[in-house]
Structure 1
Amino acid sequence: MIEYRHGRQPLHEYLRHHARTMPDKTAVVWYGRRISYAELDDLSDRFAESLRERGIGQGDVVALFLHNCPHYLIAHFGAQKLGAIVSPCNPHAQAYELEHQLADLDARAIVAGEELVKVVLASRARRNVEQIYAVRYGDMLPGVLAIDVPDCMRLPQEDAPLLPAGVVDFSEALAQAGDFVPVETIAMDDVALMAYTSGSTGLPKGAMISYDCALYKTAVGADGFGIGADDVVLADVALHHISGMNTGLAQPIYAGCTVVLLHRFDATAVLQAIESCKVSWWYTMAPSLPSVMACDDAATYDLSSLRTTVGTSFGVQLTEALADRWSAFASGCRVYEAGYGLSETHSSDTLMPPDAIKWGTNGKPVPGVQVRIVDPGTDIDLPVGMRGEILLKGPVAYKGYWLRPEATAALFCDGWVRTGDVGVLDDEGYLTFLGRTKEMIKVWSYSVFPEEVEAILATHPDVRQAAVVGLPDPDRGEALQAYVVLKSEAAERMRIDRTGQARDRSDQKIIEWCLQHMSHYKVPRTVIFRSGLPASESGKLLRRMLHEPGASIAAS
């Protein structure tokens, strides 16, 4: 194990420690508004008490359904101070998608961005959610903005619409909450976080993360990245994503540094934030780097404070050439690929050593984590340099999936975690991630589960059956292609050639429908019509055959 900076205690106790020892230090910068550690600790106490006053308690699930904002940190740490379980929801989700997670969790409360309240109310799972909090992102903005805010964000002086009946204004709830008495019965092995992921296959499942695991992976991440109390961290990656949560929420609070929070990535806002806040450390997605450098006035900004940029390759590969370009542009700052990890393990299973960068790899195992490469059919260890399935083992026990005993059993192999990923270890211990053995599709930085998209497509009034596969895409990493079997009435109306391509706008109409019923990154880029889908004797869909011409005959 490692030596924790302020002992083995939950991360919300690190927040409380910093609030007591350096109350006036800035914890969060929100477009120029500075929130101190004392204020963040007090506001998260207030949220914990607000939940308690509404009957939410230890072990209950609180869902977070909002984009980056200070309220996210307040809700995250406030719920955990109460001993409740935090479950981030993708703010791009539509009602059908949100419904699965809320129903699976039996969530008792949800904190939603005000623009997303309508999605919550449209979800059938809403009837089981007892408390809905609405966050108005602009209510914590400063009077004078230091960084450009997104056009979608309402400024404090602008009138806000009334909230629907039964929906509580988040800021008003904090103002009205009484004094919070800390919970003394939280154990480090208790579940603190429920991160939704596919695991190896199937619909998303809740990966249970304990306070112990969250602390351990946060600590090795902060140590591996060299984040200290004097750093100013820029966070533009979504906090609901495990990598954004680690680098923009957990690690800054663990280290006691300052995080400059952006609602979402914006190239100009990044330049303004680095210059005005003297940002020293930035984690982002690789496509962000050329976007920032392409700004018309990029050369006019002072980026000399930026010491380190850590990236993850999605769509655009973080190559040594791109790193050299960014380093030259950003006053010589160090640039490298972050690492590799699973949601089930709170990520950060391997990290790139900053002083021994090896391009084309995903770094070395962090202290305490062991990595094996095995033959996926026999589980026999493979020699150095041979590709196989990646297996992981850490010093903190991983809990598996919420209410999924069979999936949890399949996750483990004699105490090792099966990743379903293909990789290779070299003779220096560096891991290279090569791809996935599972059918999950990666679009930009998001995980897309074929079964989920197929289930939504099946609700289209003209669709009898659908299957989805991922295809390489230079911009997205992978893009979805849907294979659709139409109901007979719809097939008779549509004009389709022998390759399955629509001669009219039939495919575009389905894509337009998808845009209204699922997150934008799950929408198929192309639609192919078929008369049937390949299946095994048992009826199981054979997705691998969809790539083969002639696997089925197009509708005519």
Structure 2
Amino acid sequence: MSFYGGDINIFDVSVHGFIWEKLQSHGNKIAIVDGSQDGNCITFMDFLDNSRKIASYLQGLGIKKGEYVSIFSSNRHEFAYIMLGVIGSGAVVTPCKDYYRENEVLYEFGITKPKVVFVDEDRLAILEAAKGKLLFLEHIFVIGKSRRYKTVEDILEEATAESLAKDDIDPENDVAIAAYSSGTTGLPKCVLLTHKAVLLSLQSQFFISGGGTFYDDRAMYHMSGFLSIFANLQIGRKIILEREFQLQKLFEDIEKYQITVATCFTPTVIEMINAKNAHKYDLSSLKTVICGGAPISSFGIKEMRRLYKVTFLAAYGMTEGGMISVGPITEADKMGASGKIEPGVEVKVIDLKTRKECGFKSAGEIYIRSSQVLKGYLKNAEATATAFDDGWFKTGDIGSIDEQGNLCITGRLKEIIKCKGLQMSPAELESVIIRHPKVADVGVIGVADAICGEVPKAFVVKADATLSIEDVHDIVNRNLSDFKHLRGGIKFVQSIPKSPTGKIDRVQLKKMS
């Protein structure tokens, strides 16, 4: 059985046209406070003017509709208006991960072949090292200071928004953003998102829940990062933008700016729970914490509610499908509870063995159908064809839905461990092991076994030096079926490798085994 989240407003406009109109209505109020630049602020009107100037300048360079322009930068307020400006020019913006080295830049740029790159001054050396192999690259503009290249500041002084060409965007078919998948199970794929898909995601409760002031340190190259910025700009909420997560900075910002809503990944929640100095700050303004990226345990939710007196919202989304579900959860909810299916999104569950549709509360692969789903993967027709089944996008995630549309994510199809024909999810084992008071973090993978095919192996970070291998075996053996026992072994490690969104990097774990 499928569940439809309900109807949603569908705007027949471009992303930039919609946001520009909203920006104008918010006037000269402060839009973004940039923590990476000592609290430098930009108003809604200045943001509007800057993004329109960027759009006009790119058109003046001869950048045509549908061509690619990349941004290679860490979080800063310029990133946001450059991104909107690129979209406003008719081009497709393709954000590049800020931690990439030369070979990784070459891989992604080799797919999109951007004619223009806006690069943070701190990453210019990496781009220059790759430049000789980027024969399609025509223009480099530096965000910050540069003596060799034209800067964004130079563009804003030269450009005028009056020369901006008339909008001729087809929202349903024209691509606004080419973002990359996380790459935790293989090479990243370039995900094409239309104007319509982006606008639908901007209406998600994940981004606009609560009121007051919004804290954001999510990387802006990531889907949840750029969508949260655009969503909060359109509703007129002040954003406190940080370059990266640092616990002390988060606490300082909450106290200084009276932040009411914070969005974070699961590792942030874990650090907040374990914080020893939270009592030194006035954190009483914080009312809502929205968490996504990876499941969080019932213990984690309970502790967040106890320590910070907040409403805790969980969410589930992906680059390919936007925000799929969001909603308040408590410690009484199951591990993996991910809120309620969003309006405009239809979800069904497919049995892993029979490949037939499941009933409510039965686990299987999550399929989604929505106008906010990707148009396709750039230059990868095979992956695009494989990703869809009769109009439904196959998420590769395992979970269930109930009659009220509550979604629970329990694992990842590609991560399933198959032992003697039986299947288990690493997330299930992790949710049991993390309950041990002496365990700080854990990751589980399947390892080859001559008799069983695969058996689970756990990588464990100690919270207490006295934790033993026997302690870990004991909590698993007492709580899980025999075939789920850790016959692949247990290895104590200093940390669990994770993506910037908090997902366990099982490719790296396999290299550590």
**Which TM-score applies when normalising by structure 1?**
0.69
Change (3 A) 1:3 1:350: closer
Shift of 1:525: 6.3
Shift of 1:226: 4.9
Q: 2:374 aligned with 1:394, yes or no?
A: no
**Bigger relative contact order, structure 1 or 2, given CA contacts below 8 A and separation 6+?**
2
Structure 1, residues 418-459: CA drift from partner, whole Å, max 9, x if none? 11222223454322222222369x99xxxxxxxxxxxxxxxx
Shift of 1:289: 3.0
Change (3 A) 1:121 1:40: same
Q: 2:230 aligned with 1:250, yes or no?
A: yes
1:30–1:260: 8 Å Cα contact kept in structure 2? yes
Residue in structure 1 matching 2:157, options 175, 181, 191? 175
Shift of 1:4: 4.3
Shift of 1:263: 0.8
More deviation, 206-215/395-404: 395-404
Distance 2:285 2:184 in 1: 42
- Name 2:29's counterpart in structure 1: 25
- Name 1:90's counterpart in structure 2: 97
Structure 1, residues 108-150: CA drift from partner, whole Å, max 9, x if none? 11112112112112225433211112222xxxxxxxxxxxxxx
- Name 2:313's counterpart in structure 1: 336
Change (3 A) 1:185 1:303: same
Distance 2:248 2:281 in 1: 10
Q: Which amino acid aligns with 2:392?
A: W
Shift of 1:270: 0.8
Change (3 A) 1:282 1:269: same
2:298–2:334: 8 Å Cα contact kept in structure 1? yes
Change (3 A) 1:56 1:356: farther
Q: Which amino acid aligns with 1:300?
A: K
1:357–1:363: 8 Å Cα contact kept in structure 2? no
1:11–1:254: 8 Å Cα contact kept in structure 2? no
Alignment of 1:305-454 (within 5 A): 305-312=285-292, 314=294, 318-330=296-308, 332-338=309-315, 340-346=316-322, 348-353=323-328, 358-360=333-335, 361-376=337-352, 378-396=354-372, 398-438=374-414
Q: Which amino acid aligns with 1:241?
A: H
Q: Which runs of 5+ in 2 are unaligned?
A: 1-5, 417-425, 428-455, 463-504
Distance 2:409 2:8 in 1: 29
Shift of 1:321: 2.8
Q: 2:208 aligned with 1:186, yes or no?
A: no
Q: Which amino acid aligns with 1:86?
A: V
Change (3 A) 1:292 1:183: farther
Q: Which amino acid aligns with 2:412?
A: R
Q: SS at 1:272's partner residue?
A: helix
Alignment of 1:267-282 (within 5 A): 267-282=247-262
Shift of 1:262: 0.3
RMSD across aligned C-alpha pairs, in angstroms? 3.3
User: Identity over aligned residues, as a percent?
Assistant: 24
- Name 1:42's counterpart in structure 2: 49
Q: 2:211 aligned with 1:213, yes or no?
A: no
Shift of 1:38: 0.1
**Which TM-score applies when normalising by structure 2?**
0.75
Structure 1, residues 1-36: CA drift from partner, whole Å, max 9, x if none? 64549x543332343223322211111111322211
Alignment of 1:540-551 (within 5 A): none
- Name 1:291's counterpart in structure 2: 271
Q: SS at 2:255's partner residue?
A: helix
1:82–1:183: 8 Å Cα contact kept in structure 2? no
Number of matched residues?
Answer: 425
Q: Which runs of 5+ in 1 are unaligned?
A: 137-159, 444-469, 477-520, 529-546, 548-556
Q: SS at 2:333's partner residue?
A: coil
- Name 1:204's counterpart in structure 2: 188
Change (3 A) 1:337 1:201: closer
Shift of 1:328: 3.4
Q: SS at 1:126's partner residue?
A: coil
